[in-house]
Amino acid sequence: MKNKKRLIVANWKMNPQTTDEAKKIFSSIKKGIGITKNSEVCICPPYPFIYPLYKLKFPKNLFLGAQNVSSYEKGAFTGDVSISMLNDLGVKYVIVGHSERRANGESNEIIKKKIEIAFLNNIIPILCIGEKERDHDASYLDFIRSQIKECLNGIEKKYLLGMIVAYEPVWAIGKSYKESMNPTDIHEMTLIIKKIGGELFGKDIGDSFKILYGGSVEIENAPSILEYGNIDGFLVGHASLDPVQFARIIKNADVKR
Burial 164-179 (b: 16+ CB within 10 A, else e): bbbbbbbbbbeeebee
Burial degree of 57 (CB within 10 A; 0-12, 13-18, 19+): exposed
Told to check if 238 binds ligand PGA by CB under 6 A, we report yes
Q: Which stretch binds ligand PGA (CB under 6 A): 75-83, 86-94, 156-164, 166-174?
A: 166-174
CB of 216 to ligand PGA, least distance (A): 4
Helix (H, G, I), strand (E, B) or coil at 201: helix
Burial 106-140 (b: 16+ CB within 10 A, else e): bebebbbbbbbbbbebebbbbbbbbbeeeeeeeeb
Amino acid occupying residue 117: I
CA–CA gap between residue 139 and residue 119 (Å, rounded): 31
CB of 13 to ligand PGA, least distance (A): 7
CB of 172 to ligand PGA, least distance (A): 7
CB of 180 to ligand PGA, least distance (A): 8
CA–CA gap between residue 50 and residue 126 (Å, rounded): 17
Q: Which stretch binds ligand PGA (CB under 6 A): 30-38, 48-56, 229-237, 245-253?
A: 229-237
Q: Binding marks (x or -) toward ligand PGA, 206..225, rule CB under 6 A? A: --------xxxx--------
Q: Which of 98, 100, 131, 218 is catalytic?
A: 98
Q: Which is nearer to ligand PGA, 2 or 178 (CB)?
A: 178
Which one of residues 46, 174, 202, 223 is an interface residue with ligand PGA (CB under 6 A)? Answer: 174
Which one of residues 173, 225, 226, 253 is an interface residue with ligand PGA (CB under 6 A)? Answer: 173
Q: Which of 40, 106, 168, 218 is catalytic?
A: 168
Q: Which is nearer to ligand PGA, 110 or 173 (CB)?
A: 173
Kindly write down the DSSP assignment for every residue of 135-193, as one continuous string. -TT-THHHHHHHHHHHHHTTS-HHHHTT-EEEE--GGGTTS-GGGS--HHHHHHHHHHH
Determine whether 187 is an active site residue: no
Which one of residues 44, 144, 236, 253 is an interface residue with ligand PGA (CB under 6 A)? Answer: 236
Told to check if 16 binds ligand PGA by CB under 6 A, we report no
CB of 98 to ligand PGA, least distance (A): 6
Give bridge partners of residue 96 from the DSSP assignment: 127
Determine whether 98 is an active site residue: yes
CA–CA gap between residue 227 and residue 221 (Å, rounded): 10
Q: Which residues bind ligand PGA (CB under 6 A)?
A: 11, 168, 173-174, 214-217, 235-239
Q: Which residues are catalytic?
A: 98, 168
